[in-house]
């Protein structure tokens, strides 16, 4: 049995923005409660990547499904979570404040940290130098700055996909002379927009794909923890790296898009982070 002493054990789960929410919430609790940080990244097909390819850090990093982690961890370690996905082998506190436990497990894809407190969290990691170089080179070569409009089009499996695309098309139509950096996860949307001469794109080779090609974007899928989701999306490691590069480029612009997107939220946070 694994038994991390005096630690916050964070479960990174969900999409890229959701995983960042969990990661930085865990970093905040680690700082606030003066505990070691252990980060467990759940590598499902929806977001299958190694965190070490995005960031450099010194905290403990492991990779398990939620089921695997629950079996490996000492059962006396409680879980604080915003939802109950599986039958756990431990006490679960749903949407409850953190108690006085020496070590606890955290599953939370909602960020409840003030911008001021986030500043101390950013110091716990650095953006991978290769990614940072690619971002800075693209920004320099394409004269990207705060005068450049940045438009995030969250498509693929997002519940308001069609609404987001409609908003984006109108936004582009209403700004025909403005330079706009386009950041989207769906290749068909990007291909449709590329003829517009005022739009700027980061050339990607990997995109979000459907786990089940025969179903719609919100078709039912089952993940490695036997959880059922209406998010029929598959993102491999290379697509996540390219998406992260796009997120950081977007952070250099004057950002527009659906405010409910956690991806968009992190582009805005990285803009103020001093990390890039």
Per-residue three-class SS string for 197-226? CCEEECCCCCCCECCCCCCCCCCCEECCCC
Tell me the mean pLDDT in the region 70-78.
97
Give the rounded percent of residues in the chain with a pLDDT score beyond 90.
94
Secondary structure of residue 193 in the 3-state scheme: helix
pLDDT of the residue at 109: 85
Predicted pLDDT of residue 203: 95
Please tell me whether residue 111 adopts helix, strand or coil conformation: coil
* Res. 2 pLDDT band, cuts 50 70 90: confident
DSSP strands (E only) in the chain: 7-12, 36-41, 55-57, 60-63, 79-81, 92-94, 104-107, 125-127, 149-153, 180-184, 199-201, 221-222, 228-229, 254-257
Between CA 178 and CA 199 the distance in angstroms is 8
51-66 pLDDT tens trace: 999 999 999 999 999 9
> Quick check: 95 pLDDT over 90?
yes
pTM for the model stands at 0.95
What percent of the chain is predicted at pLDDT more than 70?
100
| pLDDT at position 212 | 95
Q: Which tens digits make up the pLDDT trace of 124-161?
A: 999 999 999 999 999 999 999 999 999 999 999 999 99
pLDDT of residue 45: 87
The pLDDT assigned to 151 comes to: 98
pLDDT in tens, 195-214: 999 999 999 999 999 999 99
As given in the structure block, the two tokens for residue 114 are 């003030």
Residue 85 banded pLDDT, cuts 50, 70, 90? confident
Q: Choose among 57, 55, 240: nearest CA to 129.
A: 55
Contact 237, 50 (CB under 8 A): yes
């Amino acid at each position: 049995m694994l038994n991390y002493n005096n630690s916050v054990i964070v479960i990174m789960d969900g999409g890229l923005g959701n995983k960042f929410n969990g990661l930085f919430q865990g970093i905040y609790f680690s700082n606030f409660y003066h505990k070691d940080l252990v980060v467990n990244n759940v590598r499902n097909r929806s977001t299958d990547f190694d965190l070490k390819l995005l960031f450099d850090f010194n905290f403990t990093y492991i990779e398990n499904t939620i089921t695997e982690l629950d079996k490996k961890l000492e059962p006396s370690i409680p879980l604080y979570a915003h939802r109950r996905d599986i039958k756990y082998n431990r006490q679960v506190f749903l949407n409850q404040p953190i108690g006085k436990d020496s070590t606890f497990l955290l599953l939370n894809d909602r960020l409840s940290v003030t911008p001021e407190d986030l500043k101390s969290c950013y110091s716990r990691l650095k953006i991978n130098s290769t990614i940072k170089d690619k971002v800075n080179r693209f920004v320099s070569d394409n004269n990207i700055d705060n005068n450049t409009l940045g438009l995030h089009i969250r498509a693929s499996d997002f519940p308001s996909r069609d609404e987001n695309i409609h908003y984006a098309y109108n936004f582009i139509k209403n700004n025909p002379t403005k330079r706009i950096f386009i950041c989207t996860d769906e290749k068909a949307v990007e291909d449709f927009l590329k003829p517009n001469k005022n739009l700027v794109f980061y050339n990607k080779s990997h995109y979000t794909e459907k786990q089940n090609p025969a179903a719609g974007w919100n078709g039912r899928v089952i993940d490695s923890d036997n959880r059922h989701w209406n998010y029929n999306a598959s993102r491999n490691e290379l697509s996540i790296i390219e998406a992260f590069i796009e997120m950081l480029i977007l952070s250099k612009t004057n950002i527009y898009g659906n405010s409910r997107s956690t991806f968009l939220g992190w582009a805005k946070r990285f803009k103020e982070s001093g990390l890039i």
